[in-house]
Amino acid sequence: MNNRLKNVLFHFFGISLFIVGFTLSMWCADWIAEKNKMSLVGKIGLTIFFFGIYNAITMGFISQAVLDGKKTILNYVYYFKDYMNIKWVCHSDLGYFPIIIGKRKLAIYEQGIFSINKLTNIDTDRYTIEQISNSVKSHLDWVYKNYLADTKEAELIKSKQNEIKKWDGYLDVPTRRDKKIDELLK
């Protein structure tokens, strides 16, 4: 799947999850306010309260504990400002990669549908654009080299598994010969 399409889906799901959380918070606040006959100020306060709990669960507990601090659709709102500073770079073999531009560094990411995984940080202080470009290219070339090595290793493992599946199960020639003789005598 195209990385730019993954990026569009990532933003769509991130914004959708934010809207779902806010709508759920408003629904819970309205339900409790109706039950307890609260005013509009109470409904607004409960909405903020429930939305805070929703954000604490999705951004805090889930994204930090379970997802190990990755940037996902669950913590989309927290990193929304970072997502607005995205620059796309193109690698000839791997396609497009988003780079988030910070004050003193660039962060290269690998785009997924539900998350973006950081590959590396590159310092931009005291470097020209050519040096930064070469650094980005060398890192993406390294990623591509690892991708090729992993692909080759997976092919070797698959071919070895196919050889094992084709194996007749005999450990030596005499047993194989004895089995064939037994089959002929039947």
Burial of 90 (0-12, 13-18, 19+ CB in 10 A): exposed
Rounded (5°) CA angle 56-73-22: 55
pLDDT value, residue 89: 87
pLDDT value, residue 100: 84
* Residue whose entry in the numeric block shows the structure tokens 């992993």: 150
* Window from 27-31, 55-59, 95-99 with minimum mean pLDDT: 55-59
Q: What span, in angstroms and rounded, lies between the C-alpha atoms of 112 and 66?
A: 17
Confidence class of residue 174 from pLDDT cuts 50, 70 and 90?
Answer: confident
- Whole-prediction pTM: 0.60
Confidence class of residue 158 from pLDDT cuts 50, 70 and 90?
Answer: very high
Strand partners, 122: 106
Q: What span, in angstroms and rounded, lies between the C-alpha atoms of 140 and 169?
A: 45
Q: Helix axis angle, 3-36 relative to 40-55, nearest 10°?
A: 140
Left, alpha or beta for 124 (phi > 0: left; psi -120 to 50: alpha)? alpha
Strand partners, 96: 90
Q: Mean of the pLDDT values across residues 62-75?
A: 61
Mean pLDDT of the chain: 82
Q: Write the pLDDT tens digit of every residue in 123-142.
A: 888 888 888 888 888 888 88
